[in-house]
Amino acid sequence: MTSRRTRTALLLAVVAVIGSGTPSAQGRPNLSGTWKFMTSTPANYPGSNGWGVPSPTIVVTQTATDFTIESGQFGATPMKVVYKLDGSDTIWEGPSSSQSGSTAIVKWRTKASWDGNRLVLYTWNTALNQMRDIMTLSDGRLTIVRATEQPGPSTSATLTYGKGS
């Protein structure tokens, strides 16, 4: 009897350990909220580059299927951008600033996927702007490892946001 109880307890313990190591929708962080920009490395990123500039405030809404960001980091004007979390493309038309500084209506494309507890977001538009953000949540801070592509050299930076109101 004691032996059976011990075996059952051990089995439950094993199941619990395995279960905790398996990424699940429930185990992934919820990044929803209003986030205030704190720091970037390098500082003053991305210099004169008008694409990928850290927005002072970003507002995130996360559901089981979508991830939505409202911010000005996509160019000259604040935008609401939706990413599907199943890795599929979302394509729409909207304004974007171009390399020459003008604004035009262009095609946009986004997609997202989870890599463990890291959320990987891709954004493209046909004004030759591309951005990859890798988001993680730790100690109440949102860290974004950002990489952008435009004509000319690529850029990379780590951005830190704290919870805002």
Partner 1 sequence: MRRILSLPAALAVAFFVLGSSASLQQRTAGPASAKGGVGDITGPYEVPDPKWPEWAHPYPKPGYIWGSQGGVFAESPNRIYLANRGELKLPDRVPNNFPGNWGFFNQQAATQPIANMVNTIVVVDGNGRLIEAWNQWDHLFEWGRGPHQIYISPYDPERHVWVIDDMRHVIFKFTHDGKKLVQTIGVLDEFSDNEDLTRLRRPTMMDWLPDGTFFVADGYGNTRVVKFSRDGKPLMKWGTPGTGPGQFRTPHGIAVGGSPPRVFVSDRGNRRIQVFDVNGTFLDEWPGIAPHSMMMSADEHVWAVDSVTDRIVKFDLTGNVEFSFGQFGTRPGYTWAMHQISADQEGNLYIAEVFGGRTQKYRPKLGANPTHLVRGRTLMPMAGGTR
Interacting residue ranges for partner 1, rule: CB under 8 A: 98-100, 102, 104, 106, 109, 122, 124, 126-128, 130, 132, 147, 149, 151-154
Phi, psi for residue 115 in degrees, rounded to 5: -120, 90
Tell me the closest approach of the beta carbon of residue 87 to partner 1, in angstroms: 12
The β-bridge partners of 1 are none
Residues 6+ apart with CB under 8 A from 106: 93, 94, 95, 96, 98, 125, 126, 127
Closest separation in Å from C-beta 151 to partner 1: 6
To partner 1, the closest distance from the beta carbon of 35 in angstroms equals: 26
For the stretch 107-137, what's the b/e string if a residue is b when 16 or more beta carbons lie within 10 angstroms of its beta carbon?
ebebbbebeeeebbbbbbbebebbbbbebbb
Q: Which C-beta is closer to partner 1: that of 79 or that of 147?
A: 147
Nearer to partner 1, 127 or 157 (CB): 127
Least CB distance to partner 1 at residue 6 (A): 47
> In angstroms, rounded to a whole number, what is the distance separating the alpha carbons of residues 133 and 142?
12
Q: Which is nearer to partner 1, 9 or 104 (CB)?
A: 104
Q: Which is nearer to partner 1, 21 or 101 (CB)?
A: 101
Structure tokens at 73: 């980091």
